[in-house]
Structure formats: C-alpha cells, structure tokens
Amino acid sequence: MAGRLDGKVAVVTGAASGIGLATAERFVAEGALVVAGDVQDENGAMLERRFGGRLVYQRCDVTDDAAVQALIGRAVDAFGGLDVLFNNAGAAGGLVPLAELEIEAFDQMVAVLLRSVVSGTRHAIAPMKARGGGSIINTASVAALSAGWAPIAYSTAKGAVLHFSRLAAAELSRENIRVNAVLPGLIATSIFGSALGMPREQADQLAAMIAAGATTAQPIPKAGMPEDIANAVLFLASDEARFVSGAQVLVDGGLTTGPRHSWDPMEPGPMHRIFGLPAGQPFAPPGGGA
C-alpha cells in the first residue's frame, strides 16, 4: 500500500523530541525521505540509526541562518530535492512579567520561534520551485490567538508566525508552494517543564504527568499528544491538502472554542456571578422575550 508521502523529501526542525520526533516518525512511515534537524545530537543519531537510509540527522541551530541553509541543502544533496518543510523547532522561554523581561531574552525567543521560520521558508523556495512546488508547515500555538496561554515573548513570536504564514502563502502561491500553520493546544511535551527551568529529564517527567492528568483542561477529555499534531502536519504535507494554503489548523481539543463555562457545566459564567446563580443552573434573561 502506497504511503501518503511516497516520493517526497521532507525537512523537519526540532526533530529529536516531542512534536518534531512524532512528525519525523510519521513522515518516514508514510514513505518520505527525511532530513531531521536539531541540537540534541545523541537523540538525533539514535533516530538516524533507527531509520537507516530513509532519515539522516544534521545538527542545526535554527537561530543560525547558515545552519538552516545547510539543513535545506542536505535534503537536496542526500535525497535530490525538497518537497516538505516543517518549521517546528522551538523553546518556551521564561515565565516572567513584562516589566522584568530582559530584551536579550526576548530577542532570543524571536530568533528561535520566528526568525527561524522566516529563514527556513526563504531557503526552501528555490529547491521547492525546482520540484514544481511544495508544502511548508509552521508551528504556531493557541498562544498566538489570545493572552493567558504562554509567556509573553513566546506568545508574541507565535502570533507573528501565524501572520507570516498567511503572507508567505499569498506570495508563494504563484510558485505552487503552500504555506500553513498548525496551532497546538495543551500537548504533553517537555516544553512546559523547560518554561519552568527544569532540566530535560525532569521536563520529560512533567510531560508524562500532563499526559496522565490533563483530561479536564479542554472539552475533549484527553491530553493532547505529539502524535495528534503529527497527524495534522501529515495532512498538510500531503497532496490531500493540495487546496489548503494560508490556513491555521487548530489541534487543541477544543481549548479555544470558548471560555471554560461554555463547555464545563460546573464552571460559573459571568452571568451566574452577576445574578448570584449557582454553577450548573441554566441562565435565562430576566423577564423573557427578546
């Protein structure tokens, strides 16, 4: 049975763990040849050994434009071209108030989360044009949509990723290059522990705790897993999404459908508070009628 990415060459950044790892694994399983970029060399080497000639690992600090260019070039040199780019590498940044945010730390988050996406997209254009087109998928976040989901530097950069994806989709349509953004919600990865300053091992343990306990955080009563994002990215990378570009694909278990009281009957809404009604009691406008 043919895979959904048979004959395609893909580059995945942040491929040694979390969402990037799940996506690289899914891409290979669906027939793609993959270049995996990351700075976790031990994990990357292990990934390369697992998949033999179908995946190669290359160290890539995505804040270094030359390193990103070299990563794209590796796809051309190793596999003959480029069809899919998943700009996924990221970091959480620190949980600090705006007044205490160091501008250098802000610049670093922008470099990791936004400039890297611009860099990867720029360098992907020529090899994708040579193949007749391609698909670029950028990892944004529910934090791009509203306040309260992530640190301010992270949220600001992800908001810019979302808009950049639309701009790039418009411009690159003439080259038959589709650009889309995927917006993860609460996904059980180590990024939450990293935001709290935990070392990698502790952050991984926290991810396991999230997977076990995050069943009440959103309308769909289960924790989001890296595989859930990988499934969405696979669709956007495949020819099944040939008419999809400039889209923002939410994969958040319904987290952003509305405030908690809209889906949790035990959470009082603003009208319950105004009129002193207990949680769970349906609210009807006083006096009836329009």
Q: What is the 3-state secondary structure (H, E, C) of the chain?
A: CCCCCCCCEEEEECCCCHHHHHHHHHHHHCCCEEEEEECCHHHHHHHHHHHHHHEEEEECCCCCHHHHHHHHHHHHHHHCCCCEEEECCCCCCCCCCHHHCCHHHHHHHHHHHHHHHHHHHHHHHHHHHHCCCEEEEEECCHHHCCCCCCCHHHHHHHHHHHHHHHHHHHHHHHHCEEEEEEEECCECCCHHHHHCCCCHHHHHHHHHHHHHHCCCCCCCCCCECHHHHHHHHHHHHCHHHCCCCCCEEEECCCCCCCCHHHCCCCCCCHHHHHHCCCCCCCCCCCCCCC
Say how far apart CA 274 and CA 204 lie, in whole Å. Answer: 42
Which residue ranges does the chain devote to CATH 3.40.50.720? Answer: 9-257
Q: Architecture of domain 9-257 in CATH?
A: 3-Layer(aba) Sandwich (3.40)
| Tens of pLDDT, residues 129-172 | 999 999 999 999 999 999 988 899 999 999 999 999 999 999 99
| Tens of pLDDT, residues 205-260 | 666 676 666 778 889 988 899 999 999 999 999 999 999 999 999 999 999 999 88
Query: What's the average model confidence in pLDDT over 264-278?
Result: 80
- Beta-bridged to residue 251, according to DSSP, are 184
Report whether pLDDT(197) > 60: no
| Tens of pLDDT, residues 59-92 | 999 999 999 999 999 999 999 999 999 999 998 8
Region class of 4: left (phi > 0), else alpha (psi between -120 and 50), else beta: alpha
Say how far apart CA 158 and CA 116 lie, in whole Å. Answer: 12
Q: Would you state the pLDDT for residue 203?
A: 55
Q: Would you state the pLDDT for residue 268?
A: 85
Query: What's the average model confidence in pLDDT over 37-54?
Result: 95
Query: What's the average model confidence in pLDDT over 263-281?
Result: 79
Burial (CB count <10 Å: 0-12, 13-18, 19+), residue 122: middle
Q: Would you state the pLDDT for residue 195?
A: 52
Report whether pLDDT(289) > 70: no
- Assess whether 57 carries a catalytic annotation: no
More confidently predicted of 29 and 282: 29
Q: Which of 86, 106, 154, 164 is catalytic?
A: 154
